Structure formats: structure tokens, C-alpha cells
Amino acid sequence: MKKTNQFSKLGFLVLLLLFSTTLMFAAVCGDVNSDGKVTIVDALLTAQRYVGIKAPVFDESVADVNGDSVINIVDALLMAKFYVGLEKELTGCKSGEANLVPAQFKGPSSSTPGGIVGADLSLNVMNKGAGAAVNSVGYIFVGFYLSKNNTWDSSDTLLTGGRESVATPFAPGETKAVTILDGMTIPSGTAPGNYYLLAVVDEQKSVSESNENDNVLALPITIAGNAKIIIFDAGGKTGALGGRSGADLLCSTYVGMQSWLAGKKTRALISVDASDEIRDMPSKYGVPTNLPIVSVSGKKIADNWADLLDGSIGMTLQDAEILSYQFWYSGSNADGSLNECNCTNWTSANGYLDGRYGRWLYTDANWISLGNATCGANTYHILGLAWE
């Protein structure tokens, strides 16, 4: 009887040791055999369980490594990939933690070295996790980077002024907007080419998250170097311009007198007929769509072609020192489409016909489409474009 008691005590100690070991290691996601690490053995045990072979020790609480509420061969494969280094983290077992992700990331499709992009950037941060996002400092950093690919690493370049903060905590499901500095810019030494803008949430990893691999969103952006479209005053004339060719002649004459514009292509910024509208100039005449539009003195009125025709410009034609007279013939509506008032395709000086014009005092749609002027009685100016 005494001997039996000794064996019972020994067995109890062994069971206690096994139970304590299980408690110590149960928190490791994927460690189904509770040995404190995830190995190929855990993957094998999970695969065996999937086909109905039960192991003496199998901790189901850490087996669902992809968090889909099912323990199957996919979980076994993820454990094996984690073991050989093909999977960075097993996250399904951390459903009670926070998970901060970037959302609704918007930004410009093109810019230039030193170009201002902050005013066109917007981003939300959302906590998709089941736990609150908290840290000791009371905020997280969000970084905006320029990258040659859509992943974030040490080779990427932080935008000038490209780091903002967002206050913590985040409740589960809570979304907060990031306040972005308007003056955030593309670094001035950036080489022309195709890039990605990256938004990196909690870049310093100050919040413990269930998934540290979904903190980045990417947007494509083209950096156009120092190339640009020059917009200039080609001079004044009545509505009888001589059609497209006459309007373009005014522009080529101006360009020919400017040595610094030598070799550039040029066209009049004017809608002539239904097949020759301002909005169609990129497809019809090869006007670049991704370059900023600037005055002769270098003052920018639009970031690109779409920005020029979106209903507003960055500064008035007067402030940009583009026009020497306040009215100019456009023949266009605000979106660059043909207006019915076009002096018979800019061939007529008939006093009973009108031509559509814009005015230099406005940054809204009136800059390009304000009113109508009598074709034969008014001498309004023509705007031209010049580009490489």
C-alpha cells in the first residue's frame, strides 16, 4: 500500500509538470504540441488531426493559425511555411488584439521633384482588431514614403514633411482621419520615373497588433522630372482667327520669338469644333497629361491635365502673370468641351455671332468659361501651350 502511494505521488508530479509546461507555452500561435515553438512537428500533428488521427497532446486553441475558425490542412501548411521562413507571422490566434490598417488612401497620380502633394493626400486609420489599440505615448506615427515598388523597406524615401501622428487609443472598429500637412512634398532630388506613394501605419510598431503585415497601402505615382507645359499669351484677335490653323499660327509665332522655347511643340488652347476640343488635345495633339502647367515665369496653375480641367485652377491667370489682357477666347465649357458660341469654328467676324471667353480674375470655372463676346467687335486674347 505504501509503495502504491509513492507511485501515485510520482505520477501526480509528472502530470503537474506536464500541465505547467502546457500552460507556459500555450500562448504560442501554432505550437499545438506545447513545446514552446512552432516546428514541422506542429504542422504534421495538425495535418494528422485533419485526416482524423488524434495526438495525445494537441492544443486546439492555437491551431487555427489563419483565424478562419476552422482547423484544417491550410493551417498545417501555414505552420510549415512559418517554420521554413516563408511566412513571417501566424496571426489567427491573436484575435483579441488590435489590428491597425490604412484605409481610403487617396493621392495625386503625378508630381515633380519638390512638388507639393500634401494637399492632395488623404488617409484614414482603422482598427480592424478585436482589442483596443493602446500604447504608452498616446499616439502612433504614420509615414508617407516614395518607393519603387508597393512594399515598404529601408530603401524607400520619406517624403519631405512626410510623417504625421494620430492619437491613441483606438477602440475596436474605430476609424480616425490622419491630419496631413498641406506642404508635404516629393524630395527635390527624386529622379523622374514611376513610383508608389506608401502610407505606413504605426511605422515604429508601438502598438501590439494581431497582424503586423497589413500596415501599408500603396498608390502609383509618376514623377515627371522638371518637364512641364508652358501656358502663354499668344496675342489678341477678333473671332475670325482663321480656325485652328490661324490660332496655332499665333502660338508658333510667339514660340519662334522665344529662344528658350526653341524646338517645343505648340498649340492654341481653344475648342474649335466637336472633333477638336480642349479636352481632346492630349489624344489629338499629344499634349502630355502628367505634367504640371506653368506660366512663362514658372508659376503653376495646375498639377496636370486633369487638374487643369477639373473646374478650378491653382491661381488666377493674372496672378500667374499669363495674360496681358483680362479676357481670352476659349470656345469651351468648364470641362474643356466645345461651347456652342465659337464664332463658327473661329472663322467669322459676324457681329451677330458670339465666342465663349474666360477671364483672368478667377480660379473657379470662370477662368475658362465666363461669358460670350461678339465675334466681330471684340479683340480677345488667345492662350497657347508649349511642351517637349
pLDDT, tens digit, for every residue of 257-290? 988 888 899 999 999 999 999 999 999 999 999 8
Average pLDDT over residues 164-184: 92
Confidence class for position 96, pLDDT limits 50, 70, 90: low
Determine what percent of the chain is predicted with pLDDT higher than 70: 91
Domain boundary among 52, 70, 94: 94
Confidence class for position 195, pLDDT limits 50, 70, 90: very high
CA distance 250 to 262: 15
Confidence class for position 18, pLDDT limits 50, 70, 90: very low
Same domain, 206 and 236: no
Same domain, 117 and 214: yes
Count the domains in the chain. Answer: 3
Average pLDDT over residues 234-253: 94
Same domain, 118 and 208: yes
Least confident of 31-40, 148-157, 178-187, 320-329: 31-40
Query: Would you say 358 and 370 are in contact if contact means Cβ atoms under 8 Å apart?
Result: yes
Same domain, 201 and 322: no
Same domain, 67 and 115: no
Same domain, 86 and 117: no
Same domain, 114 and 213: yes
Domain boundary among 208, 223, 238: 223
Same domain, 240 and 332: yes
Residue 14 has pLDDT above 90, yes or no: no
Residue 24 has pLDDT above 90, yes or no: no
Q: Which helix (H) or strand (E) holds 229?
A: strand 229-237
Least confident of 169-173, 187-191, 337-341: 187-191
- pLDDT recorded at residue 27: 47
Residue 2 has pLDDT above 50, yes or no: no
Parent domain of 201: 100-223
**What are the residues whose beta carbons fall under 8 Å from the beta carbon of 357, sequence distance 6 or more?**
327, 328, 329, 330, 370, 371, 372, 373, 380
- pLDDT recorded at residue 165: 95
Task: Please report, for the domain that includes residue 333, its CATH number.
Answer: 3.10.100.10
- pLDDT recorded at residue 61: 67
Q: Please, which residues bridge with residue 127 across strands?
A: 100
Query: Would you say 162 and 200 are in contact if contact means Cβ atoms under 8 Å apart?
Result: no
Write the DSSP assignment of 234-248 as a string of letters: EEEE-S---HHHHHH
Nearest Cα neighbor of 375 from 241, 273, 268 is: 241
Q: What is the CA radius of gyration of the chain?
A: 33
Q: Whole-number mean pLDDT of the chain?
A: 88
Task: Please report, for the domain that includes residue 86, its CATH number.
Answer: 1.10.1330.10
Domain boundary among 223, 245, 263: 223
CA distance 156 to 148: 8
Same domain, 30 and 129: no
Sign of the torsion formed by the C-alpha atoms of 64, 65, 67 and 73: negative
**Phi-psi region for residue 29, left (φ > 0), alpha (ψ -120 to 50) or beta?**
beta
Same domain, 175 and 253: no
- pLDDT recorded at residue 172: 87
Confidence class for position 30, pLDDT limits 50, 70, 90: confident
- pLDDT recorded at residue 31: 85
Same domain, 206 and 247: no
Residue 21 has pLDDT above 50, yes or no: no
Question: Nearest 5°: CA angle at 333, between 327 and 336?
Answer: 100
CA distance 365 to 330: 12
Same domain, 237 and 374: yes
- pLDDT recorded at residue 94: 60
7/81: higher pLDDT: 81
